[in-house]
Amino acid sequence: MPTIMIDGPVMTSVEQKRRMVEKLTDAAAEVYGYDRKIITVVIRENSPENVGSGGRLIADIHAEMS
């Protein structure tokens, strides 16, 4: 039934992914009133070299901030 797709930066550990999936699943189950078992979460990770904002790569923005 519901599928949650999240795009974001690369997570450094599987534990972070577990927490993300658990929290998103719990929130959706609560709002929809569905059993957690039918909710799917897809995590798509994007490196800073593959994402732009305001016409600039995130990698370049991060480099300037360092």
Residues near 44 by Cβ (< 8 Å), separated by ≥ 6?
A: 5, 6, 7, 8
Separation between Cα atoms, residue 62 and residue 32, nearest integer Å:
37
Q: Within the chain, where are the H helices?
A: 14-32, 58-65
pLDDT digits (tens, 9 = 90+) for 4-58: 999 999 999 999 999 999 999 999 999 999 999 999 999 999 999 999 999 999 9
The pTM is what?
0.82
Q: Is the pLDDT of residue 1 over 90?
A: no
Q: What pLDDT does residue 16 have? A: 98
Separation between Cα atoms, residue 47 and residue 58, nearest integer Å:
9
Q: What pLDDT does residue 53 have? A: 95
Tokens 């992914």 -> residue: 17
Tell me the domains of the chain and their CATH numbers: 3-65 (3.30.429.10)
